[in-house]
Amino acid sequence: MPFTADPLEHDLFALIQSEIPLPVPVGETSLSPDIAKRMDCIKADLVKRAGGMANFTAKTGTIIRDAVDYVIDAPTLARFRVEDLEPDEKTAAGKRIERLMRHTFKISRGKKLDVLLGGEDVDIKTTMNKNWMFSKSSWGHVNLLIAYSEKKATFSAGLAFVLEEHLGAKNRDTKRSMKSKFREEISWIVQDSPYPPNFLAALEEVELNKIASHRHGTARVDALLEAVQERAIPRHAISSVANQRDPLKRIRSNGGSRTKLWPKKILVLSGTFKDDRDLAHKALGLVLAKDEVLTVSAQSPKLTPAQIQKYASAHKLGTA
């Protein structure tokens, strides 16, 4: 059935036709103008919902990090790497990416497929490798493809119109992967874009075991902050060991890590506070983002007594 843009999307579709050039045909396997326009319409709808290309790239990267961390479930299962996942858990990570994208970008479910974009049903396919698996329900539709690498901490997202002849042999689940020559026809939205790396997976095994040995989230956060000094720790890493939505409250004064680590002569600098950001920059030469935390020993030669005293006064701490 030929595609007809929904009246409500007429302006968006007209903009695409006038401003976005169609792909140059390459051989007999190139996309038809009709399919190319549909894909451009879907791309424009998705980017518009995200608030622009930069937001789409940043938010999709965060979605991938959150989804993988959720399935790894470090605080409950005491594991930290994607290599520790079972095959069905890797599939679960993909399903969570799909759900988070619908929620984050306010996308409705399709009538039969995952989402409704550009006025039509679109399936979302994810992979940690270089290819995607397609069931019959995806054939004859545009698919939103996401590939990500935990090792490189990069992801790519693109669109592909999938037909049976584009696919290879069936696997045990009767799903089929795309033939290499048709992967060249993917219309990429973003390629090899960095996303937040798995901070915990880069730590030494002995450090990870020490962090995981604690029963309570606060103690795990304390262990993380004590083990990793003079390196910015992202919110997602603290969240993974704390097992809560607002992990940064575990590091604050009044019973948090800042208070508990002060007697050990460890300063806990939070990007939330301007004074802490200034101290990190002046003493350590590090730019501390608002959602990052950094620890440094009060005995470090990089700190002056005046800086330590200012830190203690700002956070209402006593003498270390």
Query: Within this chain, do residues 183 and 62 fall inside the same structural domain, yes or no?
Result: yes
**226 is a domain residue:** yes
- Residue 266 in any domain: the answer is yes
Pair (263, 134) in one structural domain: no
Q: What's the confidence (pLDDT) of residue 130?
A: 81
Higher pLDDT, 155 or 317: 155
Please tell me whether residues 38 and 163 are part of one structural domain.
Answer: yes
252/75 Cα distance (integer angstroms):
20
pLDDT tens string 121-161: 999 999 998 889 898 888 999 999 999 999 999 999 999 99
With beta carbons less than 8 A apart as the criterion, state whether 57 and 47 touch.
no
Domain total in the chain = 2
Indicate if 241 and 181 belong to the same structural domain: no
179, 194, 209 — which closes off a domain?
194
CATH (domain of 123)? 3.40.600.10
Closest CA to 268 of 211, 308, 318: 308
Residue 320 lies in a domain: no
Same domain, 169 and 235: no
Same domain, residue pair 178 and 55: yes
Are 224 and 310 in a shared domain? yes
Residue 143: domain span: 7-194
Going by C-alpha positions, the residue among 252, 265, 256 that lies closest to residue 216 is: 256
Q: What is the mean pLDDT of the chain?
A: 86
The torsion angles phi and psi of 194, rounded to 5 degrees, stand at -70, 145
* pLDDT tens readout for residues 200-211: 999 998 998 889
Angle at CA of residue 13, ends 8 and 19, nearest 5°: 150
User: What does the buried/exposed string (b/e) look like for 47-78 if buried means 16 or more CB atoms within 10 Å of the residue's CB?
Assistant: beebeeeeebbbbbbebbbbbbbbbbbbbeee
pLDDT in tens, 207-262: 988 898 888 888 889 999 999 999 999 888 888 888 765 556 656 655 688 989 99
Residue 12 pLDDT more than 80?
Answer: no
Q: How many CB atoms sit inside 10 A of residue 99's CB?
A: 14
Question: Is 92 a residue whose pLDDT tops 60?
Answer: yes
| pTM, entire model | 0.78
